[in-house]
Chains A and B, each alone.
Chain A
Amino acid sequence: MAQVITVTSGKGGVGKTTSSAAFATGLAQRGKRTVVIDFDVGLRNLDLIMGVERRVVFDIINVITGEAKLNQALIKDKRVDGLYILPASQTRDKDALTHEGVGKIIEELAKDFDYILCDSPAGIERGALHALYHADQAIVVTNPEVSSVRDSDRILGVIQSRSKRAEEKREPVKQHLLLTRYDPVRVERGEMLKLEDVLEILAIPLLGVIPESESVLKASNSGNPVILDNESTAGQAYADAVARFLGEDRPQRFLEVEKKKGLFGRLFGGRAA
């Protein structure tokens, strides 16, 4: 049976799309048939981060209105087997998404995939609700920063009350914390909330900590999800998170300031790659 995973946060710009792309790619790398859906109708960007923007013909709205079949709208990734992308519409607005239409798409995808990832738009309204309604699991993307933590708490409440599982009084949506853009240097200086603080406040299980990393920008420039960059700390941290999601035991890395740098590194080195 397919699992629906919603990547959400409440707040915008915290790394949902970066994480959706990385996670979907990671699951497919591990042999799981995975489709990642962009729910940010009107502001699609997942296609750019996945590097498939030039190949978009149809989108989720075309499927809902019957203008295209689902399999025609799915874009097959050329790098990783078993990975597909369903783009959001660029030209229409959020109201074009219907409860029934989304339901049908998820139902049809569930027959063919192991994991259905939903990249949620920001906010706690229509678009975000569509993205989380069918969730079996939720990855709550949070930055170590006050407004992000508060918005994550709000979205956790929404998941608990507005998801299909909640409506049907089934076992609740399984929640995971993904703390991203973590900068150990600033944490050590006391400028940034530390992992323990965020965990204490949100009190949901930790899936992983993704360090602030320059390679994320490089990845989006080239349209290759950062998890494909084995050298980068962020890529490795996402690979760890995927492994943990699949039940493996992996210690947290990249939580401490790198101590090994010599004088030269300290003078000239920027942030970790």
Chain B
Amino acid sequence: MSWLDFFRAQKPPAASASQAKDRLQIILAHERVSRDGDDFLPKLQQELLEVVARYVKVDANKVQVNLERGQGMSTLEIGVELPGNGTAKRSAA
């Protein structure tokens, strides 16, 4: 180790590396859980649609599913465009 390495070692870790670690911890926690079980999202969407379809006629193309994975909690937002009286938004957590 040269004396130059000594100065280099004093540098604090770059901020972007800790960002990388945070992002990985969140996404891997989610992926490890879903790796074993079947992915339930497609089924959840289908069943939600069936429920909505009991009351109104919906076009599957007009359904938006948004997910934001977080630490400890995720938000799933399902937007269903209802025919006739404009757009309605329904949210589920």
Contact = CB atoms under 8 A, between A and B. Distances in A.
Interface string B2-30: 00100000000010110110010011001
B42 A69 contact: no
B54 interface: no
A216 to B, nearest CB: 11
B31 A221 contact: no
A210 to B, nearest CB: 19
Given A54-B68, A55-B67, A56-B67, A218 B14 contact: yes
A62 interface: yes
Contact of B23 (A48, A56, A268): A48
Nearest to B69: A54
A53 B61 CA distance: 23
A218 B16 contact: yes
A69 B60 contact: yes
Interface residues of A, number: 23
B73 to A, nearest CB: 12
Interface of A: 48, 51, 53-58, 62, 67-69, 71-72, 90-91, 217-218, 220-223, 268
Contacts, number: 61
A55 B61 contact: no
**Best-buried of A53, A57, A69, A222 by chain B (most CB within 10 Å):** A57
A220 B45 contact: no
12 contacts: A48-B27, A53-B69, A54-B23, A57-B66, A58-B41, A69-B60, A71-B64, A72-B64, A218-B16, A221-B23, A222-B16, A222-B19
Nearest to A65: B42
Contacts of B68: 54-55
Contact of B63 (A48, A72, A223): A72
Contacts of A221: 14, 16-17, 19-20, 23
B34 interface: yes
B69 to A, nearest CB: 4
A195 B84 CA distance: 61
Contact of A54 (B20, B26, B61): B26
Report, nearest first, the 7 A-B pairs whose CB atoms are least far apart.
A221-B20, A221-B16, A67-B42, A54-B69, A218-B16, A57-B67, A53-B27
A91 B33 CA distance: 12
A91 B17 contact: no
